[in-house]
Chain A
């Protein structure tokens, strides 16, 4: 068991000490791994009243339980902390090779306490741990940092997770980067890392990862990989990447454009994965560790003002946030802006979101040239977007305001600008127009980290593949509920996806393998968990563990004082109808959301008035100690 989960490395940066502990069975079985175990550690160590950017916040890295094995697409790492964007629970995950390397070094988790006096980086060389001076790499970008640390340590094969200037400057949506171009982007974990004066974590692992039942496990991974590769959407995702779906999403009118003023663009082709391939921007397909799909991209620009740009991506979200959302249809500009976000360590979704909000403010006169360093800021100006990415990362000029995120920026500018700030709980919304996708609307509203799809990816509600329709039938009893325009059964769909996504994250799987493609089923995850750990659990039990994780995360926010009123969507989505759909459904209203929330809280066994989990619910999930603490704080749900 110790082998597969990896040990926990605790590091106190304030006094420079570290120690290691194994993952006990009492933690492994209820919380599975990765995201689940991270959540429990956060609950235990970061109490209400903590400043997200103060030394009391704890930054937790958790490799997937199966990362390092041949289980297909299981190489993701979850980063958990109190979010500087929302002041609430944050889990954010990234791909690349780093998590697997950590496992080969014998660790599954790193828990960072305190704050170093001067910039440092952590060097994990199998069992040898060293806190090293980072003054030479502080201030330089992620790509330069990766090369410089590899050079300093004399090994170009080591794996590095780092922050860029954005993390150092405490930008509230700074990312933690893995293997250069893979981001744990959302919610500002990069700023938490920066606040601790921790520039990077370099890892060299020369050991192994072994399952408790090696042959059974290996055979199950082969079955899993066959299942995944035979999904009807697998080839498309491999060939065109995540942005290959943009055309379909645009046609469905759920592709937010011009800061959600519209739900599609007129000609989406320049932002699609197909365009990257057909026009020669795509140089290579790229995979995270152990991934048999390989949806990541490597794109370059050879000609024009952005010639010389090169980076991983751009992904679907980036094409939308920095492209269509800003009215920018210039592929090269998006590639450049994406490159800068990567190397400066910024979340592309939030970066695009604050820029498009500023564009709308300029259009409507809430911001003028005097606020914008003497410049104009018009829709579709790719060069302005690229310039602002840099200004945000370094908090230069107007970028300093945007670096606070759209919620705080709107509060400072005032007037009507909050109506154009598309966020909930302070997290800029990811790129789905929830007005015409009701499961997404509910999922985004209840997501403990704010409005996005990476807590619950309910893509199945569109019913775009036979596998998606079959899943909807399994959850609801009828394929007809594969319909994003109705509110009926959305609570059931969201809850199933929550459970599944939590298991997905805990084991290190990519959500694309479980809830966009559907090849890695809960049954397969249960079988892999059982063979990996030697503890047999069923599909039902592993999904229940998923719910336990989701519920613990909810309790974390409940303990902080978050309530039903926080489970909402942006003003624009709740009050302005999408102009790109002629029918009446294309809006999220209070009435609609209230109905779905009631159903969702009821399903969960949470108090309808406050959304607080009830003691009976927590007891049935084995979370009695959590219930005790909520009760003492006066925040337990009424039976």
Chain B
């Protein structure tokens, strides 16, 4: 499992949405949360913010259901791609994604999902709270395990 993923720690997320802005600027050259491939779900009465983006599923159902082969991974880097020339905007990928991490671009009519900015995700780079990580899943799990154990064994 060496594929890197963007993972979020909602306990650290402050809900500032810089990730959405940097993502939309990276991909579209404008600031628009609606065009971001990462979205922060907020529960304002509890001041809770949870970033949601493509999880790079081991079994990418969005790719399985795509009738025209537009949802792909780059074989060299493992980065997800949307082949916009092929995409017909049928929304099957949107429907099957269990996370709500795939959307249809409001202007282009083609699918949008996280492409990890070619290996240097802007959302992670500019998260001021350290709530987003980009690393192999095994590392994320390792750190999470240690953090949790530390919390109750060294207190």
Contacts and interface: CB of A to CB of B under 8 A. Distances in A.
Interface of A: 68-70, 72, 97, 100, 104, 143, 146-147, 157, 179-181, 206-210, 214-215, 218, 222, 225, 229, 283-294, 296, 298, 310, 312
Interface in B31-61: 31-35, 41-42, 44-48
B86 interface: no
B45 A208 contact: no
Contacts of B28: 208
B44 A179 contact: yes
Given A206-B34, A286-B47, A287-B129, A292 B16 contact: yes
Top 8 nearest A-B pairs by Cβ distance?
A208-B32, A298-B47, A287-B14, A287-B16, A292-B128, A294-B14, A210-B30, A208-B30
A179 B40 CA distance: 15
A286 B40 CA distance: 13
B11 A284 contact: yes
Contacts of A69: 21, 31
17 contacts: A68-B31, A69-B21, A72-B128, A146-B44, A181-B47, A207-B34, A208-B24, A208-B31, A209-B31, A225-B128, A286-B15, A286-B47, A289-B17, A291-B128, A292-B128, A294-B128, A294-B129
Nearest to B43: A156
B31 A292 contact: no
A287 B15 contact: yes
Nearest to A68: B31
Given A143-B45, A179-B44, A292 B33 contact: no
Nearest to B10: A284
Nearest to B17: A289
A146 B32 contact: no
B134 interface: no
Contacts of A104: 32-34
A241 to B, nearest CB: 11
B46 A298 contact: yes
Interface string B69-87: 0000000000000000000
B140 interface: no
Contacts of B129: 285, 287, 294
Given A206-B106, A294-B128, A214 B30 contact: yes
B34 A294 contact: no
Nearest to B35: A208
Given A147-B45, A298-B46, A207 B14 contact: no
A235 to B, nearest CB: 11
A210 B31 contact: yes
A289 B16 contact: yes
Contact of A310 (B21, B22, B46): B46
Given A70-B21, A214-B25, A291-B128, 14 more contacts: A69-B31, A97-B17, A97-B42, A208-B28, A208-B31, A210-B31, A214-B29, A283-B47, A284-B11, A284-B14, A286-B15, A287-B128, A292-B128, A294-B14
B45 A146 contact: yes
A377 B128 CA distance: 45
A266 B35 CA distance: 53
B16 A294 contact: yes
Contacts of B25: 70, 214, 218
A293 B24 CA distance: 21
A206 B105 CA distance: 12
Interface in B108-128: 126, 128
Contacts of A225: 126, 128
B54 to A, nearest CB: 19
A67 to B, nearest CB: 10
A290 B35 contact: no
Contact of A285 (B14, B18, B21, B35): B14
Contacts of B30: 208-210, 214
A69 B32 CA distance: 8
B42 to A, nearest CB: 7
Given A181-B47, A284-B48, A70 B14 contact: no
Nearest to A180: B44
A290 B32 contact: no
A70 B18 contact: yes
Contacts of A222: 126
